[in-house]
Structure 1
Amino acid sequence: MPAISDLVGKPFLDDAMGPDSYCCWGLAVEVFRRFGVCLPDYRAACASVASGIAEKGGEWVRCGGEMPVPALMLFTTAGICDHVGVYLGSEKFIHAHEMGGVTVVPTNHIFWKKRIEGYYRPGWLP
């Protein structure tokens, strides 16, 4: 797995694509880049990105069974899909959130577990 420890602790900032701060989508773009995968720069609110992927899928394929690493995780926090994180394997994910900035969290975290909408992989990859 590529190094991501330098991302942990960076502050959350709406629409931030790094390297000093990140929004949830900006962090996902950076983490996937470190895995050698280029994601589109949607430059939209994370809620728009997450709900668009959850509703339409488009270029994204919902994962079942064993999760690929990395996998994009979608979360519902305000009644709609409005947050993304990246599954890192070993039941952990990384995300950027206004409540703590960039953190690595277990998938069974009491707050986040019940908010997971699904896991997705880029459909353009083999």
Structure 2
Amino acid sequence: MIDVSNYLNIDYRKPLEPGPGMHCWELSYKILTEVFAICCTDFDECPEHEAMDKFIADVDSWWPVAEPIPGLLVIFKIGSYYHCGVMISNRQFIHVLQGRRSVIEDVENRIWKKRIEGFYRWAH
């Protein structure tokens, strides 16, 4: 498993709000660029739902991958919203949700498995 200990227990912060913490795309972007050295699109200045909409519209830059491996972005559909995290092993991903701190969870967990929209690799 990839070491992401520096990214654990980070408070959730709404996009564009000042102060410490991160939203899911910001955390994912930092991990992809700093841990995996992937120069992907930065949507940090967007409200979280707009960042996810831009990700979904940017289909040429993100290629779907059938099986999870470390370094992939994982997208979840939660109701009418999208959420993201980064795969750090074939089963575990790191993410942050509103009202919680960043954690590592298992994509095979019944809560997450049914919400997976897909796994994506930066194409550039």
Q: Same fold (TM over 0.5)?
A: yes
Structure-2 residue corresponding to 1:69: 70
Letter in 2 for 1:50: M
Ranges in structure 1 where 5+ consecutive residues have no aligned partner: none
User: Normalising by structure 2, what TM-score?
Assistant: 0.83
Match for residue 36 of structure 1?
37
Deviates more, 1:112-121 or 1:42-51: 42-51
* Aligned residue pairs, count: 120
Q: Which runs of 4+ in 1 moved over 4 A?
A: none
TM-score by length of 1: 0.82
Instruction: Please identify, of 52-61 and 107-116, the stretch whose mean Cα deviation from structure 2 is larger.
Output: 52-61
% same residue = 22
Match runs of 1:1-126 below 5 Å: 2-15=2-15, 20-33=20-33, 34-42=35-43, 43-54=45-56, 57-64=59-66, 66-80=67-81, 82-124=82-124
Of the structure 1 ranges 97-106 and 48-57, higher mean CA displacement relative to structure 2 is found in 48-57
Residue 15 of structure 1: how far off its partner (Å) = 1.9
Report the aligned-residue RMSD: 2.2
Supply the distance in 2 between the matched residues of 1:15 and 1:112 (Cα, whole angstroms). 23
